[in-house]
A and B are shown apart, each in its own frame.
Chain A
Amino acid sequence: MAKIVILGAGISGHVAATHLRRKLSKNHEVLVVSPNSNYQWIPSNIWVGIGRMKSEQILFPLAPLYKKKKIGFKQAKAVSFHPEGDSEVDKPYVLIEYVIGENKGNFEKVTYDYLINATGPKLAFDMTEGLIPGKNKVYSVCTYGHAEHAWQGLNKVIQQMKQGKKAKILIGTGHAKSTCQGAAFEYILNVEKELRRHKVRDKAEITWIANEYQLGDFGMDGMLLSYGNNIMKSSEMIEMVFEDRGIKWITRAGVNKIEDGVAHYETLDGEYKSENFDFAMLIPAFSGHGFKAYDKSDNDITEKLFKGFMLVDADYTPKPYEQWTVQDWPETYQNPSYKNIFAPGIAFAPPHAISKPRVSKNGTSISPAPPRTGMPSGITAKLVAENIIDIINGKKTLNHRGSLGNMGAACIASAGYGLMKGSGVSITTFPIVPDYVKYPDTQGRKLGKTFGDIGLAGHWLKLTLHYAFLYKAKMKPFWWLIPE
């Protein structure tokens, strides 16, 4: 009988929990610890942020589902890791703190045989002065709550524009090291489309601001992709879309301070500039949660488990960009010091960035951190679950492997909502981390498997993913047939 504890019920934690429960007999315990009572399909936050979907359409409560499926659930947050137990508890455990109900504020030592850390990122708004969702006219769409506020803020500006006021809208990244440019990209196109729908587009100046060296970098060093019969750089494709929609852009910019309606930023050229706005949506930096770890004697062993995010089977040796290889990237997401701990999704520490690191003349690092989108988060969580099942069943090696250097991803970016008037930019990439050795002439990617397309079909695809993944997450009949 084994006990598997999963920290986090986002895309990766929930995928791991559902696959473990489906494949393991009920003698084995599967327990999820997560502070949020709901599962949320984060990619659809974009539509909550433009008022075209309600939060209730993108979330559902976890407790009833977990009860029905015999998955344990504690609405609590992990506080510290004790992979050897302590003087009182012999087994490894995590210290958790309840966040709700009569137990709120109480701590518990939750023991485990296997631990999956799927706690994703901390949304580090505090790393940019004044970047507080809902304050200073700046918003976020990173959670459904934030997205609801964003819509309130945007709607207010739309109503003002309807009265004849001109408005400046700024969307992009809110820190020199932010990632998740894709989400901001989707949001700016959706906002632009909504302004046209509300017939106020002519009143708005819309500007993209990002830490990317070039448009379309997306934290993945950009890509060369097939687009119809052409081969195009992602920068050219995004430039085409932005110009066509009248969206201005500022790249190579590290936002460092927000004041009421003003974003201050530094450029790679070392200049300090600012941009005014009436409404802004800026993605914060993502960081680790700052967890601590202790050995049996209560000595601090945090560096054995964490380097910001959790250490796994990656090659963390510092190297210059030119020496980065796909082999540096992890394959099993297993912690090297404690083999019964795994970290899929965003929770693992990447060996390095994917985009070329760049430093401003003043020494500020301005370049995107590596993104880990929903699809790889799901795939890595499933393979971690499968490896744990194998170990429980007596296998000695981890046979399920999935490096971001040998995995494809699809990014279906909504470019406007509407069953007949919507649009989407569909981009697939293979591999996610460019393999410059295998594909030297195509910027590290396999053409054909790396392609882009724009049109209404993209919107339908994004809608299909919304319904399919919520169906899957709710564990409805044959849910496991839907791939991650």
Chain B
Amino acid sequence: MTQRISKTKRFIMTNPIIQFFKYIYLSLKILVIVAGGHGGTRKNI
């Protein structure tokens, strides 16, 4: 095993309070990307 994630990073990844805010942020960001719409790519239509 090679430690590739620093202790600070790991703390951020596992701390429930920080992660709660992350959860809200990610939910909204994902909603914007996914519900942000889709469409065609062909110009002639």
Contact = CB atoms under 8 A, between A and B. Distances in A.
B41 A329 contact: yes
A483 B1 contact: no
A245 B40 CA distance: 41
B5 A244 contact: yes
Main secondary structure of the interface of A (DSSP, over half): mixed
B38 A240 contact: no
Contacts of B39: 331, 401-403, 406
Contact of A428 (B1, B5, B19, B33): B33
B20 A408 contact: no
Contact of A457 (B20, B34, B41): B20
Interface residues of B, number: 29
A413 interface: no
Interface in B1-38: 1-5, 12-16, 19-20, 22-23, 26-27, 29-31, 33-36, 38
Contact of A456 (B14, B41, B45): B14
A379 B38 contact: yes
A379 B38 CA distance: 9
Interface in A368-416: 375, 379, 383, 401-403, 405-410, 412
A457 B38 contact: no
Nearest to A325: B41
Contacts of A412: 30
A455 B34 contact: no
B41 A453 contact: no
Contacts of B40: 331, 401-403, 406
Interface stretch (A210-218, A290-298, A458-466): A458-466
A435 B41 CA distance: 10
Given A331-B42, A410-B30, A461-B26, A455 B12 contact: yes
Contacts of B27: 461, 464
B19 A460 contact: yes
A245 B45 CA distance: 49
Interface of B: 1-5, 12-16, 19-20, 22-23, 26-27, 29-31, 33-36, 38-42, 45
The 5 closest A-B pairs by CB, nearest first: A246-B1, A455-B13, A407-B38, A401-B40, A457-B22
